[in-house]
Chains A and B, each alone.
Chain A
Amino acid sequence: MKAYTVISILLTFLCSLSAALETEHTVDILAWPLSAPKGATLAKITYNSTAATVKSYTQPKIPSDDDIVRIGYYHPSGSWSGIATAASNFAPEKSKILLLHLNSDGELYHVGFRASDYGSSSAASHTKDGLSVELVKVRPGPTPHLNKPVVVNADGTVPSKEPEKTFLQKYWYFIAGFLVLQVVMSSGKGE
């Protein structure tokens, strides 16, 4: 019995250790102004399923006549995924948040971008030159909220309900109170 406990504790520890040491992924996020022939690296980000950090950030060079910049990354298969955002969001006075959308296996499948003036947003961690990164994990799909199953006894019978109290058991104090009142009143009359 003790051995089992020890082993299970050990296993739990190992599991948590492996979770902590989960492989870090690195991804290059590119910024790609619409007129540019190809994207330039915006940031290098390392992430695992629980946390992400900005390793480096390069302020993108955006031609002045471009008002839209694509932000995205290349899949391991070589295909591009990205979103579009306004070029004005890269102004140095804005705080920028890069969103990494992770699927249920912790894989990156899409990116997002938010920028806001300083002060309006809370001070985000992992900031580097105004860029912070947030992980958005895909939510598990909603499931029906099923009714609670009937719990049966070991022998398969439905547990019997507690026997209901009789009328006397329930309301004895009313009767007692009434009797006391009667007694008090009658004794009062007697005087």
Chain B
Amino acid sequence: MLLPLLTAVTLFLAPACAVFSDEAWNIDYHFALLGAPKEETSFFHRPNPSSKASLIYTLSEEHALGAVNPRDGSLVWRQILASGGDSHNTSFLRAGEGQDVVISGIGSEVAAWSAADGRLVWNVNADGPLEDVEILELSDGKETVGAKDAVALSGGEHPMVQRIDGASGAVKWQYSIDGSDAPYQLSASSTEVYAILLHKTILDYVKLRVVALDPVTGQKTDEYMLSSENELATADNVISVGANSASPIIAWTDAAHTTLKVNVVGTKSISSFSIERHDGNAIERVKLHAPYHINSLSHFLVHYETATSHWAEVYHIDLKNSKVEKAYSLPRVAGRGAFSTSTADANVYFTRVTRDELSTVSSASHGILGRWSLSSFGVASGVGEQVEPVHAVSEVSVKGDTVSAIRTTVLLSTGDWVLLRDGKGIWNRPEMLASTVAVTFAMPADVVALAQQLEVEAHGNPVAAYIHRVQRHVVDLQKLPSFLVSMPKKIVQGFLGTSADHAAGSDIFGFRQIIACATRSGRLVALDAGHPDRTLWNRDVADLKPGQSWRPSLSSTKDGVIQVSSAAGTGINYNATDGQQLAGDLPIIPDEPDLSTSRAVRYTMRGNSLEATYDWSPSWTFTPIHGERILNLVPRPVNDPVASIGKVLRDRRVLYKYLDSNIALLATAHDASSKANFYVLNTISGAIIYSNAHPNIDLTAPVPTIMSENWFAYSFTSEASDATTKGHQLVIGEVFESLIPDNRGAMGASSNYSTLQTATDPPFTLTQTYQIPEPISQLAVTRTRQGITSRQLLAVLPASNAIVGIPYGIVDPRRPVNRDPTKDEQAEGLMRYAPVLDFDPKWYLNHQREVVGIKNVVTAPALIESTSLVFAYGLDVFGTRLSPSFSFDILGRDFNKFQMLATVAALAVATFVVAPLVMRKQVDQRWRFL
């Protein structure tokens, strides 16, 4: 008796759980990214000195400082540091041994952050840009008890060394560096602080000048010049200035990388080693890895890299006579490799990551303490591309003569940041997406393939089409066994409502589109909008040299194809599903007539004016008046379907929208009078359809603009004046053919017209302004397949790290002002105008997550009309699906087939049970009355 009851209860458990789960965390995804970590600013550190647990700290190339949990790769905390916008792109991150703060240096600011939660402890601004920041492990020759002090070296007009109190951030002493030598780095030994300066000789060579300072008083104790002769051509050849070790060193090579010179800071002797060549290729890079701890053995590793292979040599320093000796070398291995240094007590361990192996050696001898083979790093890459490690950071624990545990984070050439625990991949963070510069949506090729086949059948002759169809079905039959196998599982999932869109089946709703992201490093990364955790493919498409930038534009002109164009080259096409480059012999048949031969108007922004050409000869020109600069230009999207050409009023009359596919919104700024002008232009003739001017604008704040359908929107920050209040405003303008219902203006009867020959009066524009609580940095609009669904205005709020979706009805410029809406207006959904537009908490697409550094939002229609796909990028990556008019054409996740069938079954049973009773009752009744 009890057993059936129990089964029934367990059966109901799963649906009961599903009722409360919200769609919020299922349909949207968010990667809280840091950007590519830098080798010298990434390390393992214990935030709480008394506990053994450590976190990974990094200051990335995007100037994001953060702590990552090594267990699962989740972000513990993050701070976005302002870089000051200078080209001086150096940043520093240091953590003292046993300290609960990490100290960052960027621009001219030194700041201490609580290691556990990322709160600011103190910050100090130096006079000039920072050249180096170090932590004084020892003061007065013994380890300090409390917070350790920091030493900062700054350049600029008055280069100086400052000692900053570790607890309060107060400057204890500062030493001004005389002369015109450029400050380079800092180095601290147990007894002295050394400032290393670059001295330019007459022959344009570089000499190293070392200034030794007393760490307690800041007085100069010694100063000398290292005789580097004429071999240091530039500062780039100085490979390393070790800091905070028992014997800090300076090492450099000549330009051809033939000899390595090492100097122990504090002495004047220079040891010279000739660099062996292992293969025919020239050495491209020499790196030095030394322990950062003052108690560690003074051993260091020199890492040589050629185009095809790498090897390393380990050197020991004899502390008594400051002599440097080569101890052993690590063999040459093909491909790139990464070395990391870790310490345990005084021992130093070097961990080597190559393409297929992870190994650890002790600095004392070349015996391998641990070796793990790596089959792959578990990241997506391009076809035939070898994934290589770029740099690594390790945490090693050694028991006896073997490594008992090792955790290594590796930045890979694909841009992924992975953690290997004992040689096994634990997590990977797609940090390459933090530098995304362009994005497009594309339909997967398999969906497209069916559409193409159907097209072939539709356009062929009936017999051929029939044969083609039979062949297609025969091919489909081959999938039958696998389909049959998966059938029971599908049915069960369908019953329990757990299948949802995680099923790997076909994508009938168009939610699983491919998102292609072009990164600043010249890679193209494809994500699946349905399974964003998995990178589909990741390939190098632009062979960029270090420091080179590109400005790609991505588009998907044809389903299944991603086209990459940049200023340098014309479009190259890639297959959206696997990233294969579509070769020239696979011609892409243009769907539209080739624009280069037809008579088209093209316009570009050249200098500070818009110039259009018609048939390749110059056409209209819009040049702002003197002192006015163009802020931005947004045309109406090319693919912007509109379902209805008018707005149907309550009384069945129609307000006709001004729908012209060739209109654009141009924003200009006049800096002298802090005025912003907004123009709606006809891009065929160059005529102005609507223009207005806003005085008293804060032009340093962002002025985002958007144009869609027959309306435009922009936002700005206004200064206080007699007419306006200080604050952020959102302006909506809607353009109609005529403001009189059922009137199409002068164009009414004509079916064709040319904007060049137009004789009409300009259209009518309704505008409305709303005061908004915070600035908007970027505007976007949802897009659906046929434009039936109402639209949402997507606004990026940088102040609260959020994205809101404002329904268009809320900001409709037709909202009645200073009066209540009439019955008719109420029925249309128009509310009384309120000057302040508060962002409803329900509009926040990101819910409680913080979406940081969003630079742009792209939208794409799904295959079903109700839904629009949204993807936001910048530093973080965020994506979701929106149904502005609610999901009217799809069953929600909370729809439970089991419950429905159970209800039907229960009703059927009830009918069968009750039917005889009813029958008897009816019969009884008849007998009684007759």
Indicate, yes or no, whether A interacts with B.
yes
Q: Does B675 contact A104, Cβ atoms closer than 8 Å?
A: yes
Q: Does B687 contact A83, Cβ atoms closer than 8 Å?
A: yes
Give the complex CA separation of A72 and B611 in angstroms: 13
A84: which of B729, B756, B770 is its contact (CB, 8 Å)?
Answer: B756
Q: Does A79 contact B609, Cβ atoms closer than 8 Å?
A: yes
Q: Does A82 contact B759, Cβ atoms closer than 8 Å?
A: no
Q: Does A84 contact B759, Cβ atoms closer than 8 Å?
A: no
Known: A86-B754, A116-B759, A117-B759. A109 touches B624 (CB 8 A): yes
Contacts of A110 in B (CB 8 A): 622, 688
Contact with A along B879-922 (1 / 0, CB 8 A): 00000000000000000000000000000000000000000000
Any B CB within 8 A of the CB of A85? yes
Give the complex CA separation of A103 and B723 in angstroms: 18
For B, the interface residue count at a CB cutoff of 8 angstroms equals 50
Give the complex CA separation of A142 and B731 in angstroms: 8
Known: A86-B756, A145-B833. A70 touches B768 (CB 8 A): no
Q: Does B623 contact A68, Cβ atoms closer than 8 Å?
A: no
Contacts of A34 in B (CB 8 A): 614-615, 617-619
Give the complex CA separation of A136 and B620 in angstroms: 19
B786 to chain A, nearest CB (A): 31
Q: Does B769 contact A143, Cβ atoms closer than 8 Å?
A: yes
Contacts of B626 in A (CB 8 A): 75-77
Q: Does A83 contact B686, Cβ atoms closer than 8 Å?
A: yes
Q: Which residue of A75, A83, A85, A145 has the most chain B CB atoms within 10 A of its CB atom?
A: A83
Contacts of A144 in B (CB 8 A): 724-725, 729, 769-771, 835-836
Q: Does B678 contact A84, Cβ atoms closer than 8 Å?
A: no
Contacts of B617 in A (CB 8 A): 34-35
Complex interface: stretch among B420-428, B691-699, B802-810: B691-699
Contact with A along B767-797 (1 / 0, CB 8 A): 1111100000000000000000000000000
Any A CB within 8 A of the CB of B565? no
Give the complex CA separation of A88 and B757 in angstroms: 8
A18 to chain B, nearest CB (A): 21
Q: Does A75 contact B835, Cβ atoms closer than 8 Å?
A: no
Q: Does B685 contact A141, Cβ atoms closer than 8 Å?
A: no
Contact with A along B825-837 (1 / 0, CB 8 A): 0000000010110
Contact with B along A20-57 (1 / 0, CB 8 A): 00000000000000110000000000000000000000
Any B CB within 8 A of the CB of A81? yes
A146: which of B614, B618, B693, B835 is its contact (CB, 8 Å)?
Answer: B835
Any B CB within 8 A of the CB of A186? no
Known: A110-B688, A145-B835. A138 touches B731 (CB 8 A): no
Q: Does A142 contact B835, Cβ atoms closer than 8 Å?
A: no
Any A CB within 8 A of the CB of B818? yes
Give the complex CA separation of A85 and B682 in angstroms: 12
Give the complex CA separation of A144 and B692 in angstroms: 15
Any A CB within 8 A of the CB of B621? yes
Contacts of B677 in A (CB 8 A): 103, 138
Known: A68-B619, A75-B626. A141 touches B678 (CB 8 A): yes
Give the complex CA separation of A77 and B835 in angstroms: 41
Any B CB within 8 A of the CB of A89? yes
Known: A104-B693, A145-B835, A147-B835. A84 touches B619 (CB 8 A): yes
Any B CB within 8 A of the CB of A139? yes
B625: which of A72, A103, A116 is its contact (CB, 8 Å)?
Answer: A103
B258 to chain A, nearest CB (A): 57
A75: which of B612, B623, B729, B836 is its contact (CB, 8 Å)?
Answer: B623
Any A CB within 8 A of the CB of B817? yes
Q: Does B620 contact A82, Cβ atoms closer than 8 Å?
A: yes
Give the complex CA separation of A70 and B619 in angstroms: 7
Any B CB within 8 A of the CB of A107? yes
Any B CB within 8 A of the CB of A140? yes
Contacts of A143 in B (CB 8 A): 723-724, 769
Give the complex CA separation of A112 and B757 in angstroms: 12
A72: which of B621, B693, B754 is its contact (CB, 8 Å)?
Answer: B621
Q: Does A145 contact B817, Cβ atoms closer than 8 Å?
A: yes
Give the complex CA separation of A81 and B668 in angstroms: 15
Contacts of A88 in B (CB 8 A): 757
* CB proximity to B under 8 Å, residues A56-105: 68, 70, 72, 75-77, 79-86, 88-89, 101, 103-104
Give the complex CA separation of A57 and B889 in angstroms: 62
B693: which of A70, A85, A136, A139 is its contact (CB, 8 Å)?
Answer: A139
Any A CB within 8 A of the CB of B176? no
Contact with B along A104-134 (1 / 0, CB 8 A): 1001011011111100110000000000000
A65 to chain B, nearest CB (A): 12
Nearest to B756 among chain A residues (CB) is A86
Contact with A along B602-633 (1 / 0, CB 8 A): 00000001001011011111111110000000
Nearest to B697 among chain A residues (CB) is A141
Q: Does A81 contact B675, Cβ atoms closer than 8 Å?
A: no
Give the complex CA separation of A116 and B836 in angstroms: 44
Nearest to B694 among chain A residues (CB) is A141
Contacts of A75 in B (CB 8 A): 623, 625-626
Q: Does B623 contact A84, Cβ atoms closer than 8 Å?
A: no
Give the complex CA separation of A112 and B758 in angstroms: 11
Any A CB within 8 A of the CB of B684? yes
Nearest to B610 among chain A residues (CB) is A81
A142: which of B685, B692, B818, B836 is its contact (CB, 8 Å)?
Answer: B692
B809 to chain A, nearest CB (A): 18
Q: Does A112 contact B817, Cβ atoms closer than 8 Å?
A: no
Q: Does B693 contact A80, Cβ atoms closer than 8 Å?
A: no
B133 to chain A, nearest CB (A): 48
Nearest to B835 among chain A residues (CB) is A144
Contacts of A112 in B (CB 8 A): 687-688
Contacts of A114 in B (CB 8 A): 758-760
Q: Does A138 contact B691, Cβ atoms closer than 8 Å?
A: yes
Nearest to B757 among chain A residues (CB) is A86
Give the complex CA separation of A34 and B619 in angstroms: 7
Contacts of B760 in A (CB 8 A): 114
Q: Does B625 contact A68, Cβ atoms closer than 8 Å?
A: no
Contacts of A120 in B (CB 8 A): 759
Give the complex CA separation of A75 and B695 in angstroms: 23
A32 to chain B, nearest CB (A): 9
Q: Does A84 contact B620, Cβ atoms closer than 8 Å?
A: yes
Give the complex CA separation of A70 and B620 in angstroms: 7
Nearest to B682 among chain A residues (CB) is A83
B620: which of A83, A103, A146 is its contact (CB, 8 Å)?
Answer: A83
Contacts of A121 in B (CB 8 A): 759
Known: A84-B620, A103-B677, A140-B692. A115 touches B687 (CB 8 A): no
Give the complex CA separation of A139 and B694 in angstroms: 9
A161 to chain B, nearest CB (A): 22
Contacts of A79 in B (CB 8 A): 609, 623
A57 to chain B, nearest CB (A): 19
Nearest to A85 among chain B residues (CB) is B756
A62 to chain B, nearest CB (A): 14
Give the complex CA separation of A160 and B759 in angstroms: 59
Nearest to A146 among chain B residues (CB) is B835
Contact with B along A146-178 (1 / 0, CB 8 A): 110000000000000000000000000000000
Known: A34-B619, A84-B619. A103 touches B686 (CB 8 A): no
Contacts of B756 in A (CB 8 A): 68, 84-86
Nearest to B601 among chain A residues (CB) is A84
Q: Does A138 contact B693, Cβ atoms closer than 8 Å?
A: yes
Q: Does B609 contact A139, Cβ atoms closer than 8 Å?
A: no
Q: Does B757 contact A142, Cβ atoms closer than 8 Å?
A: no
A133 to chain B, nearest CB (A): 15
Contacts of B621 in A (CB 8 A): 70, 72, 80-82
Which 5 A-B pairs rank lowest in CB-CB distance, beginning with the nearest? Answer: A116-B759, A141-B694, A83-B686, A144-B835, A142-B767
Q: Which chain B residues have a beta carbon within 8 Å of chain A's beta carbons?
A: 609, 612, 614-615, 617-626, 675-678, 684-688, 690-695, 723-725, 729, 731, 754, 756-760, 767-771, 817-818, 833, 835-836
A68-B619, A88-B757, A138-B692 known; 4 other A-B pairs, CB under 8 Å? A70-B618, A81-B622, A85-B756, A141-B695
Write 9 A-B pairs (CB below 8 A) sorted by A numbering.
A34-B617, A70-B621, A75-B625, A104-B695, A140-B692, A141-B676, A141-B731, A143-B723, A144-B724
